[in-house]
Structures are given as C-alpha cells and as structure tokens.
Structure 1
Amino acid sequence: MRALVMEQGADGLAEAQIKDIDEGLLPSGDVMVRVEYSTLNYKDGLCLSPKGGGLVRSYPHVPGIDFAGTVEASEDARYVPGDKVVLTGWRVGEVHWGGYAEKARVKADWLVPLPQGLTTRQAMAVGTAGFTAMLAVLALEDHGLTPAKGPVLVTGAAGGVGSVATAILANLGYEVAGVTGRPEQAEYLTSLGASQIVARSEINETVKRPLEAETWAGCIDAVGGEMLARILGQLKYGGSVAAIGLAGGASLPASVIPFLLRGVNLLGIDSVMQPYENRNRAWARIATDLPMNKLEDMIVPATLEDVPQLGADILSGQVKGRVVVSMT
C-alpha cells in the first residue's frame, strides 16, 4: 500500500516520504478501510512539521486526521465490507496512524457511516473543519440563536472552518459577517454567502471597554486571544460565542462583565472526542444544510505528493477553503 510516512533523521527531525509499505505494519483495529480521500487541517500541518507539532508521539508515522472510504474487512458487526465510512478525530493521525495512505485500520467506535446524500469526496471536503463548523452552529442554535436575532460573526472566515460555517449559516438564512485579514478574500466570502466583510484590524484590538455596542447575535471564533475578548463585549444580550480555535493565541484577556451584565455565553467546541450520537447529528445536518455547490467551490484538489508543501502552507495561513487529497 502507498502511504505518506514521516520518519525521523539522525538530527531528530522528521521528514515526509511517499513510500510503498506492507499493510501488516498498520496498527491494530477492528476495521480495515480502503481510503479514498483525506483532507488537510491545521493539525495535519503540525503533524507534518519536522518536530511533529507536539502531537506525534513516535516514528515512523502516517499523518492524516481525517479520511473517508470503503470498509474492506471488519471484525465488528456494525460494519461490513462495502460500507462507506467517515473518520474524524479520536487522535487518529496524531497518536494512531491516519489517512494519508491507501488503507487504514482503526477501531470501529471511531467510525461513522457516510451520511446519505454525501460522497466520500464531499465528506473530506467537509472533514474535521466542516464537522467542527457544524458542531458550532448546533451549539449556537441550542443556546437560542435564530436568524431573527441578528448578524452572526465568523472569524477566520476564509479558513476551513470559517468557509463551511459561512456557507451553512447563510444557507440557513443568517446574516453573516466574515472577518478576514486578507482583503483579497472578500469576493470569495461573498460567494459563500457573507453579507458583510470585517477587516481583522477593525476587531483585533485589546479590550478598551468591557462592553461595547450590542452588535452580534452570535459568533463562531477560530482566533481566540484579544479578538475573542473584544467580541464578548460586542455580543447582544444572551448571545453566544462558539470557540473553535486559537490562531490568535490561547490567552483570553477578557472581563467577566459581559457574562454578568449581558448574560453572554462562551461555548467550547471539541470535535475530537465527540460522542457517536452528536457525530451522527452533525453529519446529518451537514448533508442537509451545507449547499453542495458552495462546498464544491471551496475544494482545492491535491495528491499525496502535494501534502507536505500544503502542510507548511496551512501553518502560515496560506490555504483557502478545503483541500481534498485523493488516494486514487
């Protein structure tokens, strides 16, 4: 089987190589999947870096935190050969060998059936990024967000999570304001359904006042840091932020006043360890609420040979939309 393998050199730094390896080297698991597509996420960029981004525990290692494909063999009654399946999370591609290979062997508990109406290619155009975006939308809805309540802010809007979140929210009838530090992406965000483009410089400032004008009914935030702190003070009464990333830093120099005087909510979104029921709920909504024509416009096709450079590109903020890596 063909795979992208990270191997450590004498200097302790890892390098990616495309190799033919024996499938017997795959780690233990209940289900063997013939991988059809994988994708590229920020975590993949970290795993592909020379030091593994602090995520990879041992080498040699096959990265790729997402994959979709067809069951080839199964020791678990829930899956039989020929079933189409999707995997995201569970530290696959970090601790366990992942999807940058023609085959993957994993635990059955980590898989979900491919939702009806989606192809494996579309599922990987969604990937962890789109799955996270849908989890964020569901969390905001569960806390009372509706289109009638006002505009929703999406930070890092041209990235993987932001692109899918913008398209889903717009399709559901929300007014979407997309934040980006790349002015040249305005047309792209508008094509996904954003009705307002917010320059990152306008909102990426240290909090000057704990409360500002009530502007946003909700927010999906990929940045964290000072930007998130400021957004909390701009939420409407009872509004929520779904926090999905920390591109701007892990610290939160915020005041508790927005929580106490406006009843705002800060909702943490984890995609890695989500229970099976929530995974199915999110994937079912993706199949119905994400416009497939918009998803197609986000896709950047790639091969295994392209992945190492794309991994470096995503770490430097140079990847737009959703990379789909074909194994065929």
Structure 2
Amino acid sequence: MGLVEVREKRAPRQKNTRSSDKALEIGLYVFAVLMLIVLIYPLYFIIIASFSEPAAVANGQVWLVPKDFTLAGYQELLKHSNIWIGYRNTILYTIVGTAIGLVVNISAAYALSRKDLAGRKYFSLLFIFTMFFNGGLIPTFMTIRDFHLYDTFLVMVLPFSVAAFNIIVARTFFQSSIPEDLWEAAQLDGCGNLRYFMTIVIPLSKAVISVIALWTAVGHWNSYFNALIYLKDTSLYPLQLILRNILVTNQMQSAMGTGEAAAIALRLANIMRYAVIIVATVPIMCIYPFVQKYFNQGVMIGAVKS
C-alpha cells in the first residue's frame, strides 16, 4: 500500500511539471515569433516602401502592402549607367578581397593557435592591441600613398585585409575544435605544419571559414568609406559610393531648386531612397541561405567548447 500511495502522489507532480514545461515551450515559441516579426518587418517595410509613393510613406499609409504602386524609384535609379560599373567593381572587390582576407586571417589564426609557435602570446597581444588602437587616418593615408596604392584597385582589397577580430575567432575555433591528437598522428606519418594545415585542418574548418568569408564579404560589399578616401577615379568606385553620390546629388538639387522643379526633385530623392537600399542589400542577402548552415555551426561550436 505504501508504494501505491507514493506513486499516486508523484503522478500529479509529473503532470504539473509537464504542464509547466509545455507552457514554457509555448511562451518561448511566441517570444521567438515576436522577435522574428520585429527583425523582419523593417526589411519588409523597406521593400513595400520602395514600390509606394513617397507621400503615402511619409503620411504613414504604408503598413502591409504598397500604396499607389509605382516603379519610378527603380526606373530613375537605373537611368544612371554608372550603377553597373559600381556593381562590377563591388563584385570584384568582394571576391578578391574575401579571398585575400581568408588566406591572411585563417593562416594567421592557425599560426597563433599552435602551442609550438615562439612568442605566441606576444603576437596575440599585438593583434588584440590593433582592435582598440590604430595609427589614425592621416598616417594610414600617407602609408598607402607611399606604397603607391592610392587610387588603385588593390587599395580596396589589400591594405585592410587583416581583421584582428576574425583572427581571434578562427584561432579560438582551431584551439577548441581541432584535437591535438590529430597533429601528433600526422607527425608520426611525416606530415609537416603546412601539409597538416592544408590537408587536415582546412577540411575540418569549413564552418569557421564560411563564417569568416561571410563577414569579410559583407564588409567589402558595404564598404564605401575607404573608396571615399583612397579613390578619385570614378571608374573604380564601388556600388555603395555611387549610390551615395546619386542620393546626395538629388537631395542637393531639391534643396537648390524652387517651385515645381524642387518638388519633383524632392519626390525623386525620396522615392529613390528605399530603392537604393534594396539594390545595395538584396544581392549580398541572397548569399546568406547558402552559408547559413556553416554560419550557425561555426559560431556554436566555438561557443560550446571554449
């Protein structure tokens, strides 16, 4: 009888526990959905606003669907032929810059992860120091000029290819996710550091390489400040700088004009604003679904094992 009574007392507790777990799970799902809406809606709003009349957007009439559907923003934007030059340059900067960044940062991260590297802690401190302090804009400009990189293609992909944060992330991944036993086994087979890095470490590090590649590619795609400072040849301008110049020109025309001409220029400036965001953002966003799996895996592996 005693065992039966104990079991009867435990049963309600288990039901209460399951009910509370179910309620917590539902609450988490509701919270996740709300956060998803909060994060996605601004992007959705930009999309529908780019197809709406500026007056409707300004008056708060655009919520879920475009108001007074129009393609005027995209049509006006595509009238500028230098946009295609900007696309070409940005794609080249992104591809070449990402490739150089991966070679530099992944190699440096692997070297810093090796315990047999002389002065490893000293070099790590040097990289970390650059995350908080730099030489400043004027010394950097003078250095680039003295190396004859000013107003060249390489100035957009070479001088700023080293990213200390990416190196630290990749180094942490190598230290926490690549077993040291693999290196010992490779040494027994006569494998050196370079061969071990190329044939064993790289294939096992697809996750973190994808993460670093995505971060580097997004940085190059969105970069405009370096082009603004170190480029004067308009044929080398990236897309972001060209779009910025178009917006600035239209805003200046609307500010300097009078009467109906000013109103037309202001309308075009407002309607192009959202179209510019879509044109500049959508291409790089299309890449994310292909690396999402590696992105999540690369971030979580280092977080769990570190």
Using structure 1 for the length normalisation, give the TM-score: 0.24
Q: Which structure exhibits the higher relative contact order, with contacts defined as CA atoms closer than 8 Å and separated by 6 or more residues?
A: 2
More strand by share: 1
More helix by share: 2
Q: Flag the structure with larger Rg.
A: 2
